[in-house]
Protein backbone atom coordinates (compact mmCIF):
# COMPACT_ATOMS: atom_id res chain seq x y z
CA UNK A 1 0.00 0.00 0.00
CA UNK A 2 1.40 3.36 -0.94
CA UNK A 3 1.92 6.24 1.44
CA UNK A 4 -0.79 8.29 -0.31
CA UNK A 5 -3.36 5.49 0.01
CA UNK A 6 -2.53 5.08 3.67
CA UNK A 7 -2.99 8.80 4.33
CA UNK A 8 -6.29 8.75 2.48
CA UNK A 9 -7.52 5.71 4.40
CA UNK A 10 -6.56 7.34 7.69
CA UNK A 11 -8.37 10.55 6.72
CA UNK A 12 -11.51 8.59 5.80
CA UNK A 13 -11.28 6.64 9.04
CA UNK A 14 -11.00 9.92 10.96
CA UNK A 15 -14.24 11.12 9.33
CA UNK A 16 -15.95 7.85 10.29
CA UNK A 17 -14.73 8.16 13.87
CA UNK A 18 -16.08 11.71 14.08
CA UNK A 19 -19.48 10.51 12.84
CA UNK A 20 -19.65 7.71 15.38
CA UNK A 21 -18.49 10.05 18.15
CA UNK A 22 -21.42 12.38 17.37
CA UNK A 23 -23.84 9.45 17.23
CA UNK A 24 -22.64 8.05 20.55
CA UNK A 25 -23.02 11.43 22.30
CA UNK A 26 -26.83 11.22 22.23
CA UNK A 27 -28.73 8.59 24.18
CA UNK A 28 -32.05 7.83 22.40
CA UNK A 29 -34.06 8.11 25.63
CA UNK A 30 -32.70 11.58 26.42
CA UNK A 31 -33.21 13.25 23.03
CA UNK A 32 -36.72 14.41 23.97
CA UNK A 33 -35.28 16.32 26.95
CA UNK A 34 -32.89 18.44 24.90
CA UNK A 35 -33.34 22.18 24.58
CA UNK A 36 -34.48 23.46 21.18
CA UNK A 37 -30.94 24.49 20.22
CA UNK A 38 -29.43 21.20 21.43
CA UNK A 39 -32.15 19.26 19.59
CA UNK A 40 -31.45 21.19 16.38
CA UNK A 41 -27.77 20.37 16.76
CA UNK A 42 -28.66 16.71 17.27
CA UNK A 43 -30.85 16.68 14.14
CA UNK A 44 -28.13 18.34 12.06
CA UNK A 45 -25.35 16.06 13.29
CA UNK A 46 -27.47 12.97 12.84
CA UNK A 47 -28.41 14.00 9.30
CA UNK A 48 -24.81 14.81 8.38
CA UNK A 49 -23.62 11.54 9.87
CA UNK A 50 -26.19 9.53 7.93
CA UNK A 51 -25.41 11.29 4.66
CA UNK A 52 -21.67 10.86 5.10
CA UNK A 53 -22.00 7.20 6.10
CA UNK A 54 -24.04 6.60 2.97
CA UNK A 55 -21.40 8.36 0.89
CA UNK A 56 -18.61 6.39 2.61
CA UNK A 57 -20.38 3.08 1.98
CA UNK A 58 -20.11 3.49 -1.78
CA UNK A 59 -17.55 1.28 -3.49
CA UNK A 60 -15.72 4.17 -5.09
CA UNK A 61 -15.08 6.06 -1.89
CA UNK A 62 -12.18 8.44 -1.94
CA UNK A 63 -11.23 11.40 0.16
CA UNK A 64 -11.51 13.69 -2.84
CA UNK A 65 -15.10 12.57 -3.55
CA UNK A 66 -16.07 12.95 0.09
CA UNK A 67 -14.60 16.46 0.23
CA UNK A 68 -16.46 17.33 -2.97
CA UNK A 69 -19.69 15.97 -1.46
CA UNK A 70 -19.18 18.09 1.68
CA UNK A 71 -18.31 21.17 -0.39
CA UNK A 72 -21.49 20.69 -2.46
CA UNK A 73 -23.59 20.44 0.71
CA UNK A 74 -22.00 23.64 2.03
CA UNK A 75 -22.82 25.37 -1.25
CA UNK A 76 -26.45 24.20 -1.07
CA UNK A 77 -26.82 25.50 2.46
CA UNK A 78 -25.23 28.85 1.54
CA UNK A 79 -27.77 29.22 -1.28
CA UNK A 80 -30.64 28.42 1.10
CA UNK A 81 -29.20 30.87 3.61
CA UNK A 82 -29.24 33.68 1.04
CA UNK A 83 -32.94 33.03 0.36
CA UNK A 84 -34.01 32.48 3.98
CA UNK A 85 -36.05 35.15 5.72
CA UNK A 86 -37.20 33.44 8.92
CA UNK A 87 -34.83 34.01 11.86
CA UNK A 88 -35.12 30.44 13.19
CA UNK A 89 -34.45 29.04 9.70
CA UNK A 90 -31.41 31.29 9.33
CA UNK A 91 -30.07 30.14 12.71
CA UNK A 92 -30.67 26.49 11.79
CA UNK A 93 -28.90 26.92 8.44
CA UNK A 94 -25.93 28.70 10.05
CA UNK A 95 -25.60 25.91 12.59
CA UNK A 96 -25.84 23.34 9.81
CA UNK A 97 -23.21 25.20 7.80
CA UNK A 98 -20.80 25.23 10.75
CA UNK A 99 -21.28 21.49 11.30
CA UNK A 100 -20.62 20.65 7.64
CA UNK A 101 -17.52 22.87 7.63
CA UNK A 102 -16.20 20.96 10.66
CA UNK A 103 -15.78 17.92 8.40
CA UNK A 104 -13.50 19.67 5.91
Distance CA 50, CA 80 (A): 21
- Give the model's pLDDT for residue 9: 85
Give the helix ranges, DSSP H, for the chain: 3-25, 36-56, 63-83, 87-101
Domain boundaries, the chain: 3-101
Q: Is the pLDDT score of 7 beyond 90?
A: no
Note the pLDDT tens digit of each residue in 61-100: 788 899 999 999 999 999 999 999 999 999 999 999 999 9
Amino acid sequence: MSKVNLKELLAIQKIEQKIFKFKSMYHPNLIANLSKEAYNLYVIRNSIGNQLLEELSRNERSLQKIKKFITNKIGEIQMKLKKATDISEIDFLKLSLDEWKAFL
